[in-house]
């Protein structure tokens, strides 16, 4: 809100990632600052050494911010206040949690819900809000609005409120623990956990999945004859589960959530041992797509809640093997998306994507999942990282995966001038010997209409000196590394754009001429290509004349003949 409310200019709001491992030292890199940008840097999860490292660049970064009319907001934990350099102490502002009931009232009032004052005084609501953070209050408001939308016309706010609380407020932990512990030591504990992960699934499937869990955990099998075992309905009744319509098992949201917490908290070994079981169970044909996604959500939530992202990464790895199905790839994408967006462990998943993206020849299923997550969740929250990873995928993959990565990269950079410049810089500025694949990517990226169109009131990209230098380098590499058929069509696009855009004609042509450098043969080849293009239509003479003048200027000469004479 601090960054968004006063803004009226062309700059974009985006978040810097302090755990971006591609950054050297501080993530506060002045090259990232565009005119009137608004940037957010969250340091609340960083240790003290990392905070000092980030803040060390703040004086230089602030000077660049002021020069470009940009803004930066840094969020820190209160315990880190003493790490702020003295010169910036006056900028520190304490931000406290707002009062939960006030947040809830304001949120619902905005949606047209204004109950009687006495309806806010329910003891259960007071107890729920007493320890609720702002995110939890938002969940409650959403649940109340859901009940209003799907309830009966005669329902009151009190009914919406109580139904929402029933979904969100777990049962007393002591009550849940007591019921579960009565079942421990037998096969019913597996049924409890299976049902808590898949509430609403068919009873026969849950029973089979629970038996499979016991086998995975090497629990002794029940050797009783089938008809000698306790009836399934009796076993379900022991933890208040019921058979509903379609033989599906109903379990209260509160009990299911508390049961999942109980097992993940008290049996750490389960977290890794359940991975193969989870892989098989959620891939079963008996489950609908919505049930699979719900299972993935619950499983990932538990792993990240207790600080163990590794089982989630293991599942993603298993679901993107060469023989994986489309359903498994979809679940991998969902799990990876949840991981990428997790506040505490997101950097771990983003690093995993980076490591995978740099490996050549990924199996197609994994490559397609990574591309989708990069263009989706990662691009929405960490667009710079998405550009970096899509570049690596486009460079190192083959076939349809390489083409898809390239297309998503072009799509993403086509929406944001800053991201375009980042991709361009990566393609022509990387250390080491230039690779032909980078030149091919440059040719795809160098669509002239992207360079000549003003964006959000900002000048056209081609007018930036640094951009022109990088474009010239990109063209130089393309001319020297690629066969003519690889760049001929794009060169014609540039010349066509020069004909259509007199205002940017000089810049476009100077980039092309500049790509030849002092090499006379390169300039001769380019001259021949432009002359051939110009000879195809009479209305192209103005472009050739400008090109001829640019050639003379590059060589420090006064043209001895006119452009018209040169064409002849």
C-alpha neighbours within 13 Å on the C-beta side of residue 142? 8
Residue-wise pLDDT tens for the chain (568 aa)? 888 876 666 677 888 877 654 444 678 888 778 888 899 998 987 889 889 988 988 999 999 999 988 999 999 988 899 999 999 999 999 988 889 999 999 999 999 999 988 899 888 899 889 888 888 899 899 989 988 888 888 889 999 998 888 777 655 667 777 878 877 666 788 899 999 999 999 999 999 999 999 999 887 766 666 666 678 888 888 888 888 888 899 988 778 888 899 999 999 999 999 999 999 999 888 899 999 999 999 999 999 999 999 999 999 999 999 989 999 999 999 999 999 999 889 889 999 999 999 999 899 999 999 999 999 999 988 898 999 999 999 999 999 999 999 999 999 999 788 899 989 998 987 655 678 999 999 999 999 999 998 876 678 899 989 999 999 999 999 999 999 999 999 999 999 999 999 999 999 999 999 998 766 678 888 999 999 999 998 889 999 999 988 888 877 776 555 555 555 5
Which element (helix H / strand E) includes 242? strand 242-243
Answer yes or no: are the C-beta atoms of 515 and 475 closer than 8 Å. Answer: yes
Q: Which two tokens stand for residue 444?
A: 């795809």
Half-sphere exposure of 419 (CA within 13 A, CB side): 25
DSSP-derived pairing of the beta strands 242-243 and 249-250: antiparallel
Nearest Cα neighbor of 247 from 205, 296, 189, 304 is 205
The HSE-up count of residue 411 (CA atoms within 13 Å, CB side) is 14
Q: What is the pLDDT of residue 76?
A: 92
User: DSSP label at 375?
Assistant: I
For residue 304, which of 341, 263, 254, 334 has the smallest C-alpha distance? Answer: 341
| pLDDT value of position 519 | 63
- Write down the pLDDT at residue 445: 96
pLDDT reported for residue 186: 65
Looking at residue 442, what is its pLDDT? Answer: 96
Q: What is the pLDDT of residue 490?
A: 96
**What is the per-residue pLDDT for 185?**
65
- Any alpha helices (H) in 283-416, and if so which ranges? 289-305, 310-319, 326-341, 346-357, 364-373, 379-381, 383-396, 399-413
Residues 346 and 20 sit within 8 Å (Cβ to Cβ) = no
CA distance 214 to 568: 86
Whole-structure pTM value: 0.81
Q: Which residues pair with 74 in a beta bridge?
A: 41
Q: What is the pLDDT of residue 21?
A: 47
Is the distance from CB of 358 to CB of 392 less than 8 angstroms?
yes
């Amino acid at each position: 809100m601090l960054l968004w409310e006063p803004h009226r200019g062309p700059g974009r709001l985006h978040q810097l990632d302090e755990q971006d491992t591609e950054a050297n030292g501080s993530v506060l890199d002045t090259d990232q600052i565009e005119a009137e940008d608004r940037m957010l840097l969250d340091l609340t999860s960083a240790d003290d050494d990392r905070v000092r490292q980030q803040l060390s660049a703040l004086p230089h970064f602030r000077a660049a911010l002021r020069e470009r009319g940009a803004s930066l907001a840094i969020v820190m934990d209160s315990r880190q206040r003493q790490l702020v350099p003295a010169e910036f102490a006056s900028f520190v502002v304490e931000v406290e949690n707002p009062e939960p009931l006030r947040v809830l009232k304001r949120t619902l009032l905005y949606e047209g819900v204004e109950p009687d004052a006495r309806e806010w005084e329910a003891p259960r609501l007071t107890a729920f809000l007493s320890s609720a953070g702002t995110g939890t209050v938002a969940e409650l408001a959403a649940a109340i609005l859901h009940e209003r939308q799907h309830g009966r016309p005669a329902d009151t706010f009190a009914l919406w409120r109580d139904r929402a609380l029933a979904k969100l407020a777990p049962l007393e932990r002591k009550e849940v623990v007591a019921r579960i512990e009565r079942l421990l030591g037998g096969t019913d504990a597996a049924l409890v956990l299976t049902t808590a992960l898949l509430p609403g699934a068919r009873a026969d499937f849950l029973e089979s999945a629970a038996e499979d869990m016991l086998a995975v955990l090497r629990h002794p099998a029940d050797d009783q004859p089938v008809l000698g075992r306790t009836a399934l309905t009796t076993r379900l009744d022991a933890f208040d589960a019921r058979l509903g319509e379609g033989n599906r098992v109903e379990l209260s949201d509160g009990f299911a959530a508390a049961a999942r917490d109980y097992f993940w908290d008290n049996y750490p070994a389960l977290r890794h041992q359940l991975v193969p079981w989870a892989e098989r169970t959620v891939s079963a044909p008996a489950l609908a797509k919505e049930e699979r996604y719900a299972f993935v959500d619950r499983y990932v939530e538990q792993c990240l809640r207790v600080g163990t992202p590794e089982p989630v990464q293991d599942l993603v790895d298993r679901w993107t093997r060469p023989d994986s199905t489309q359903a498994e790839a979809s679940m991998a994408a969902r799990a990876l998306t949840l991981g990428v967006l997790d506040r505490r462990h997101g950097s771990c998943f983003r690093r995993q994507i980076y490591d995978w993206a740099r490996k050549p020849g990924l199996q197609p299923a994994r490559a397609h999942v990574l591309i989708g997550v990069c263009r989706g969740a990662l691009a929405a929250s960490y667009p710079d990282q998405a550009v970096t990873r899509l570049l690596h995928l486009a460079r190192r993959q083959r076939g349809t995966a390489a083409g898809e990565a390239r297309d998503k990269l072009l799509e993403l950079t086509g929406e944001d001038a800053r991201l375009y410049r980042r991709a361009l810089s990566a393609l022509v500025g990387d250390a080491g010997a230039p690779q032909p694949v980078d030149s091919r990517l440059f040719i795809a990226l160098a669509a002239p209409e992207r360079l000549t169109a003003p964006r959000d009131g900002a000048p056209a990209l081609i007018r930036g000196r640094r951009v022109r230098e990088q474009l010239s380098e990109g063209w130089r590499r393309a001319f020297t590394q690629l066969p003519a058929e690889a760049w001929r069509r794009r060169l014609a696009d540039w010349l066509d754009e020069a004909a259509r855009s007199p205002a940017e004609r000089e810049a476009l042509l100077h980039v092309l001429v500049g790509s030849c450098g002092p090499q006379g043969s390169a300039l001769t080849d380019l001259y021949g290509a432009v002359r051939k293009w110009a000879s195809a239509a009479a209305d192209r003479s103005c472009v050739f004349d400008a090109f001829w003048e640019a050639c003379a200027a590059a060589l420090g000469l006064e043209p001895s003949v006119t452009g018209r004479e040169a064409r002849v």
